[in-house]
Structure 1
Amino acid sequence: MSNTILIVDDHPLFRRGVRQLLEMDPELAIAGEAADGDAALEAATRLSPTLILMDLNMARRDGLSALRTLRQEGVEARIVMLTVSDAEEDVVAALRAGADGYLLKDMEPEDLLAAIKEAAEGRMAISPRLAGLLARALSGPREAPGDDALDALTAREGEILRALARGLSNKQIARRLAISEGTVKVHVRNLLRKLGLRSRVEAAVWAVQAGVDQ
């Protein structure tokens, strides 16, 4: 089983519900559960899941703090926030801290399962009703890249931008393009500078809006 999932939430009943939902799909397996951010750090190291579903607001240690620590420690699992908060500051903070997606708990079960599968397969997972919020966050307080911004990119940077728009990690991009992860990081840094963006998440959102992922 290639897709193993760690469920992190401080409500046992919700964890059970997510587990039951995921168990409906034979391509997904439960790696384990954790009740707070501290337990998530330990479980991520011990279980090495490929995907972590994590609540934002939890006792003892919140999801955003745990997310930042997981990324600082080099955990390569895809991490998707699964929460009730649709506040712009929470969404933007999570994505800029390294989250691979942001899903809301009030999604229909079948839609949530489909989004989780997309995340497990390497795509960015964002609740549909957050799209407008991300667009506003991307456009302010400064202007988004102009229509001619792509002309400033090299062919390789354009390839990597399209890969970012599809939600691929540096490792996946390196494998696909037969280059090193270090080279991918250099290209990402360069294209962010040319586009005037601050993070790969902003680049991915802008690229999707501009149709670059087609």
Structure 2
Amino acid sequence: MHKSERLFQLVNLLKGRKVAVTAKQLAERLNVSERTIYRDIQNLQTSGVPIEGEAGIGYLISECDLPPMMFSVQELQALLIGSRMLEAFSDPEQAQHAQSAITKIEAVLPTKMKQINDDLPYYALGYKHDDRCQAHNKVLREAIENKNHLLMTYQDVKGDVSERTIEPLGLVYWGGKWTVISYCLLRNAYREFRLDRIVSLIALHTHFEQEEEKSVLHYIDLVKSAACDNKNN
């Protein structure tokens, strides 16, 4: 690993942390000696990076604005693939942001990598994406960000239609179908709703509080735990 790349990685490891990281931990992570870490820390401090701490205690970067870190070619390709998927399967507003990101990523690819990038065997085709799902995606995304209740009319797999108020917690894409993970006030429990089965959505002006045990991450942990139990049984 070149020194410049190691320094970028070192800054990324320290940036935004609340707990100091020891030189030993950093050395193990970057596969170098502790002496190299001490030397790199000193070089970064000399160049103006606000690293706090000392040997034997640990290091972290104080709150400040730092320029964006350099990505490797492989990281840029991963970001490009993810942006293409977002462009194809999200709502129009997000798709526009994704296209802007793609343009910026492609602009910084090394010349020798541009052809390799064009030949990547990953494609995201959104021509089958339902316009109504895209509209629901936008309403749901905004409600999740603002923590607003939604009044939803929903048609289940049997064709039965119901109306319920939900607390939208997160959107999950299952490789073909979007679902919104919600806390359903009718059932007082988590529920998944497929976007292609939502008839209508109305954003309400009431807010909800997201809690540790009422969140999309908590729901996913429950799903994983249940899957493990079923596998073991």
Q: TM above 0.5, one fold?
A: no
Query: Normalising to structure 2: TM-score of the pair?
Result: 0.25
| Structure with more contact order per residue of length (Cα contacts < 8 Å, sep ≥ 6) | 1
Return the index of the structure with the highest Cα Rg: 2
Higher helix share: 1
Query: Normalising to structure 1: TM-score of the pair?
Result: 0.26
